Amino acid sequence: MKNIVDNICAVRAQITRAAHLTERPPQSIQLLAVSKTRQADELRQAFAAGQHAFGENYLQEGLDKIAALADLAIEWHFIGPIQSNKTRQIAEHFHWVHSVDRLKVARRLSEQRPPGLPPLNVCLQVNISAEASKSGCLPDAVLELARQVAQLPGLQLRGLMAIPAVSTDAQLQQQAFAALRTLLQQLQTELPQLDTLSMGMSGDMEAAIAEGASIVRIGTAIFGPRTYPSNTQEDSL
């Protein structure tokens, strides 16, 4: 039987170790618990263990959990592909969006952010390995997109997010994370307020932290393996 509380402790220890290896303060790395496919009571257990930020990929599933857990002060992050006709509920119910990859979606999120709420924190998703099948803006187009998104009043542009090509080669993993870090540094010369690199999952968080990750998105290592419907693509999970 998996134990969510023990798993969270183990992941936190792993983050601390990885931070020390590259002489980074462990508090500079935020743990985002990726809770897609998980039941509300599993999130409740994680919350009781001090985990207050959760990431969801599917809008309806996320909205159901936001409603079921309305009594908890959770910071909700949307990390899945965004259909432009579904932006309103994201703008109304989430605190962060990591997967903005085009201006149309950014404009809608900005317009639809309720005026009483602080600007929605957003990261631009970059297709860092330039894979044909992946969502995300291509690296060449990021600067222009960032300039435009930074102007939108309902959004606070925070940084970049990537899901690199799956690789068991630690060096290749690290190269992709380094490329995202370099891209953020380039943007920071014009947009110095950017402070977020959302990168690293259960299988590659050490490499991501070594390259400067400020948010690691961890699902399996906290909640155990997921069971997917057989026809879903990994990119949309």
Ligand X SMILES: *Cc1c(COP(=O)(O)O)cnc(C)c1O
Site for ligand X in 169-208 (CB under 6 A): 201-203
Helix, strand or coil for residue 217?
strand
Between CA 81 and CA 61 the distance in angstroms is 14
**Are 125 and 98 contacting, i.e. CB atoms less than 8 angstroms apart?**
yes
Return the range that interacts with ligand X (CB under 6 A); candidates 89-97, 134-142, 184-192, 212-220: 212-220
CB of 236 to ligand X, least distance (A): 8
**By rule CB under 6 A, what string of x and - marks binding of each residue 24-63 to ligand X?**
----------x-x--------------------x------
Which amino acid is present at 42?
E
**Residue closer to ligand X (CB basis): 164 or 212:** 164
Site for ligand X contains 219 (CB under 6 A): yes
Nearer to ligand X, 89 or 202 (CB): 202
**220 near ligand X, rule: CB under 6 A:** yes
Is 123 a binder of ligand X (CB under 6 A)? no
Residues that bind ligand X (CB under 6 A): 34, 36, 57, 79, 163, 201-203, 217-221, 237
